[in-house]
Structure 1
Amino acid sequence: MIKKILNAGLRRLLVGQTDVREFSTVGIGDTVGEKVYLQAGNLLIDVTVNQWMLGLEPLTFGVWIEDASQRAAMDQASRYTIYFRRSVPERGEAARGALAVAELVYFDRIDDERGVLFLLQISNSHIHHVDGWRAKMIYQRFYRKPNLSFEKLKAVVTAYSYPRRVRVISFQDGSEYNYIFPMDLLGDIRQSGRYLLGMRHSNQVLQRMVDVKKIVVSEFSAEYKPVIYKLGRNHSANPPSLGELPFGVVQTREFGFFVPEWVESYKEVKVLRILDIGSHMLLFGEWVSDEVLKPATPRLHHIHFFHFLQLRKRGEAYPLV
């Protein structure tokens, strides 16, 4: 009984009354509260809407740069640092008050007529969501497992200190294979009409996507989280037939792929480049259509539980879904 009471007291001290999980799922509208800055040499670049997590082992970020002077700074730099914040830095001091910091090394790049995608991989990370002793105790009690060191946990916490939006992927190979599943290792380069998807090599549909070079990415309301999570197994097993899906579908304008009838919008993407980035394959494409079907509502995003704890402490937590 005493041990049980002590364990309950320790749990309240570490995380409060909240259920511990790897990621917290939240609903966010058009405005994300976090800011992201990239230090390249002496230049600090606001990359908030132009940075994405695309691979896990090693943890790989994609950063899109169009400005010529910023591209030159990226080319000349030997070290890169990304700062995750909840506010604009004062006097350009991005490190002060940062929630998380990632030290990065150059891995590769994709040169496009509209800009350059720099691929950077984490070499070290620092998290400041909770006190250092508390972070290590939470890790020891709730996260420790053979394949997850504290250093790896810190890297994941860092990447998910910015909300990563979940989208629905639709892919079709003939009439027999209709895949519909969720992803969050992806992003749209809105100003340039480009799209990025980080697909795990073990994903059974990857080779078909590489062959067909067509993908549809849809936005959906956070309220459909239970439905979309049930589709998560569709990228690692034979997909259900359309008649077995628990919802209706509609066909896209150009490709004729099937998307859930409740999606709010979709982009049809033609794959232009394919690049191996470790545990994942990067698919770089352009969208050939952008269809809006319904008004936008708060969308489903993933943040790390550590980040959720910090936001809750500050009274700035996003609504849990």
Structure 2
Amino acid sequence: MSIILIQLAAIYGKLGLGIGAGWIFGKFSSEAIAKKIGQWLFWVGVPISVFAFVRQIDLSGSIWLAPAVAWLAMGLCLGCAWLWLRYTPHDLDKPAQGSFLLSSTIGNTGYLGFPISLAIAGESMFGWALFYDLLGSLLWGYGIGVMVAAYYGEKEKTSVAKIIGKMFTQAAINPAIWSLILGLVFRGIAFPNLLEQTLHYIAWTVIALAIALIGMRLSHLKNNANITQIRSSLSIKMLLIPLIFALLLPLFDVPRNICLALLLPMAMPPAFATLIVSETYQLDQELSVCSLATGTCLLPFTLPIWVILFS
């Protein structure tokens, strides 16, 4: 237990330092800088990081189970959130209900999930987090997530065909997916030691910059919604569904390290993608912002549950 606590303290220290530094820098810089950093990470940094880590991770066994578990988990999140809206008294209008469903479903499995998975589950298990994010959260967010936003938003309704087309377009232009493919292709090719070390160094630098970017973006959030409006959303996303899988996965003889690798991204707070989709389809942005910020602040208190259960 003491080793686990020391490990968590080290992780919290690094996350707190990175997010705190980003938050301070964000307070004295414009949102345009954070946007530029985000664009660089999306198009350059994260793809290099994915390529570097894919060459080192263990892809044996049933790693392709990760996106299947991701879709199942997000489907259960969506179902539970819909049941809450359907059978619980609330004062949320239709756009707010859309934001509630998105915040209950799509997690920050990339910029926040990657460094946490690397730090806790280790590089050898990073493939599970990678496949969970790229083939799970990404496709769900721009597929089912857009369908939900189009239905609950105030804009003109979008056809299912257009939504499906957008989902595959977003996947096709995402450089991280192409880096994943290239990393798989070049796994068997030995690179010069200097190049390998450089890629590894860049990959970890990108992870650190991604953590700082979270702090910068949090520093620019201004809206504050009533906490009672998001308590149920975060409970479903960060506690209920991960707890169900924590009980079910061992029943199917899933090894403890794989259980941990799947539960970590599953229990992440709402993703920044929920803000983008909410803005695009005119949902309740205040609810999305508050859910994201509150979920990120709650993560240090929920993360030990999964680490203690499966470490």
TM-score > 0.5 by shorter chain: no
Q: Smaller-chain TM-score range?
A: under 0.3
Which structure has greater helix proportion? 2
User: TM-score, normalising length from structure 2?
Assistant: 0.25
Which structure has greater strand proportion? 1
Greater RCO (Cα-Cα under 8 Å, separation 6 or more) = 2
Which has the larger Rg? 1
